[in-house]
Chains A and B, each alone.
Chain A
Amino acid sequence: MQDRMSSTERMGAVLMGQKPDRVPVNPFILGFAAKICNLPLGDLYTDPKKCFRTQLLCAEMYGYDATPMYAYASYGAWEFGGEIGMPYEEGQSAPYVIKHPVETPEDVDKLEVPDPKTAGSIPVSMGVGKLCYEHGMPVVFQSGEVLSPAAMIAEPSRLLSWMIRKPEVVHKLNKKIAEYFVAVAEYFTSTFGADKCMSFAGGPVESNKLINANQFAEFVYPYMKEIHSKVLGMGVPIILEHPCSDQNKNLPYYQKLREELGWKGKYIWVFGPETPLERQIEIFGKHDVLMGNVDPPSFQFKDFDEIVALCKDNIERGIKNPSGYILGVGCELPPLAPPINVYAIMKAAREYGSYK
């Protein structure tokens, strides 16, 4: 099928609850774009112009509908005074923490909430944001859940054991991160106008591979609610929420969040492949957009036909969401995926994703 809408029109239609020509595609591509453009991966995370342009070119080349953004999972350590490594070495796929700024509970007391204008990666993400703004695209800022950055600040294993041994220290740290995220949101919304912004939230340490639902309730939920309600209160219309990996046990809390916030704004949910779309439709279907969650590692190991089949299955299930669906990947698409497998997503969207 030939595309009859531009990417902007297509995404716009879905977000306004209308039917586009076909399902939009957001393959969660970051590092892959750099590989395709023969750009050192580290440049993607350090140079706003290159970060923007490679993502734009990659989207143009394949015809998918995502706009450039800046985000990575090891977020938080650099911003709070630690040290980050950029993925310039072979085999590396994203930024990684070299030095965690917190080693002891006393360090948490001393930790200062950084200035959102200068903290760590913010100047780069602001640079990418400016380019998006100039091109009439949404400006995405990272204002994730608190536990993943807390783990990056204090080192994951240390933070996880503090959750039992020293819960008060974890709460102290979480409060500072929440304060920081709200300040970041204020910085971006006051620069571009809230209606031009989109907040990207979520993280892997919240996954039920690591913590249980009660721990999510205690250490994630209250901060998540506070940040989201403030961000929405500033007028940010869309939150792109990525509960990474298996978060099935946390689902009741994501539901509670939406209910308690009165289903304000529009959420785009990107769950990991472990959460069936049917379950997501049950919970969020009346209000929110779902982004598909095809299994990321498959893109590196499976062949073209298998990827088309996986995407077809995802489309058939996701398109049933009354509030809209975007074909997507359950986490970042592996940078080393064979390029033809990204075309497989487009092929599936065009062949099986058209709205009658």
Chain B
Amino acid sequence: MRVPWTWLNEYTDLRWDPQEAAHRLTMAGINVEGLSYEKLEISSVVSAKVLDVKPHPRKPGQQIGILDAGTEKLQIVSGAPGFKKGNIALVVRPGGTLPGGVRIEPRELDGVVSQGMAVCANELLTGQPPRPHEDIILLPPGTALGIPAQELFELDDWVMELELTVNYSHCLGILGVAMEASALAKTPLVLPEVLEKWNWAGAYGSLEPESHNDGEPEIQINLPDPELCPRYVGKLVEDVRFAYSPVNIERRLYLAGQRPLNLIVDATNYVMLETGQPLHAFDAGKISGKAIAVRSSRPGEVLVTLDGEERELPERTIVIADASGPVAVAGIMGGKATEITGATRKVLVESAYFEPLLVRLASQKLKLRTEAALRFEKGVDPTAQAAAAERAAALIAGLSGGMPVSGYAETNHLQIEPKRIMLHMKTVERVLGTKFSPETCREILEAINFQVEEGGTTVPEGTSILVTVPPRRVDIQAEVDLIEEVARHYGYGNLGIGDLSRVVPGGITDPHKLCVEKIRDLLVSLGGMECVTNSLVGPGDLACLGWNSGDPRGNPVRLRNPLSSQESVLRTSLIPGLMKVASANMRSGIPGMFIWEIGRVFFPSAELPIEAGQIGFASYGVLKPETWLGGPDESGFYRMKGVISSLMDLLGAFNIEYLPRAGMPFHPGRSARIVANMSTIGEIGELHPVCLKHLDIPLPVTASWLSLDGLMSAVKPRDYKAVSRFMPVERDLAVIVPEGVPGGDVIDSIRKTGKHLVSVILFDIWRKPPVPPDHKSLAIRLVYQPQDRTLTEEELAEDRQRIMKRLKEDYDAVLRA
């Protein structure tokens, strides 16, 4: 909301500069997001008296006037009705400017020179031509001549831009802001006369003055459904004449962000900006019948709104209807048919309380976010309807725009019980950590127009006060809300800072988390670059990896309202995201990368999706180029398998098996399932060429994933074993096996068969003669180290025989000569 400084100060005379006020308000929760000096870009616009006029010889309707502009006399041509001898006008001197960069130079009008221009309000404020029936600005008789416009009107002003949180809806009127400011600055609040009479600012809300003259309402208001609209006030103003508002009011409306239209509509907007209560003006002459009703829209009902759009009214929209049908969308926008025009003679000012939620829904559905809707949907002061209508009517009368009809029509189903809350000093201290006296609380709350009485001082909690909450403060529901009021007006910064000597560890521990951080550190030291990728992916990303509806990973959880199809489902694997990273980096010329991510993947389930932790890996290309020492270090299946082995070693996850052939997206002959305790906890492999093609990735990529839960389930606590005092003995063994025998199986078999073995390492594979075709020779280094002795040659030979016998039986292996 925009708050012009001069307007604000009309209600409380702040002795601060605007910057100080903005800071104080912000620190009290009334968030001033911006403060700017709004200067009307005009120059050389001054008061000037028309000394004499004569008609233009050749231009009918135009007058040639001689004007006294104080220091000089000007000949000016004008056709305005107010351009008469003796009137004081506002003129732009030659060389002067109007907003929008409009420059006024002497010009010839059919042989007559005009040295400047007499301006109307629209020209002065916007630089645009006069509106229909708009006369030039006329200044009161006696106005000094040659006085700049800036001194005659409030044109330049500071404007505060408020960014209000939803609880401060009472500040959606400038008076509400003034009330906060007056409390902070300790300056009195001065209300407009009508509102003062209605005790608008009181703790009980607006109250009808006793002397209020009730007339006989000419119009009847039917509220068949109090749920939609519990209170509706209609105030009639007659003898209306069409006019534009005075310059100061128009300028204030502009500064507040509202376009002025005509005196009647401007008065309703002015009062809305002042009090926060939206008003609407109907041309009473165009309302059919003697009654209006507030009801729910009927299917298929349409209304042409003020902006000229024909709108179909959504279901459950509140409408104002006369005998002919809807005439306004309640709380959002009026109808074209009953709008104020030059022909309007009688006006019905509407001031109502509409159900906030319904206004919000209708405003969303109609995509009409009007100032009125904004206020209704936050909840307006439920007591202020009549007061605001009376204020608007008085404003119209004061500006000679019409005569209010005595009294008003009202239907009211609201029973506003004053909200009373007990505020205990003990609770204040318990929440804030600072002791408050009832006097301090009372002073603060009374300054923002709450009413405070001594409360049940005998209650065991100690001193307390009884606080009556003004009905405009719809946000105040409970004691804590009052505590916030006290705290923010006292100043959060004045509450003191607690010392932290009392640090108590709080209950929750997560051993998983510790493991995950260790895994991260290991992967970094193994050269892995951690990635964080989007958990929203597209169905296409999953399809590219060959996951269709037959695979759980092809059945993702779908967002109902995605922003785009590329981010429309929850990831079922970390691999799609890592593929995007790999692809993007390849395209920026990075020759190779080993990347990983730890995050969650999602699968549909009965109510909430299953969320599972996963580690994803991917690598491509040359990780380290060849150097004079050797290399290069290339990514590939075995390198990644090595990383995973290191990981298992770190965690103490043994008994991990690799079984051939993982499914998509892996190459069937270059992939494995990673199995622990008979269940698959991950997969590893090179990507299937078809997937690479779908992903448009030019280089081979190796990828892997591991389930975090699966990994943790494979972790076995390690037992300590005494260190052997005896020297290890190494023996090499070369066995020839048929090509189809998995080398890993041979190694495992040796490990299980041999005795006292501490290490079995495959150090070479040989496939050339003398090894027969379709066979391979595996060179394996065995390290023996029993706990209690050094093995004899006989024992070593015996073990070798045992191993070879097993290998012969299981794999048709022979010892290489």
| Same assembly | no
Q: Which A residues are within 8 Å of any B CB, using their own CB?
A: none
Taking Cβ atoms with an 8 Å cutoff, the residues of B that contact A are: none
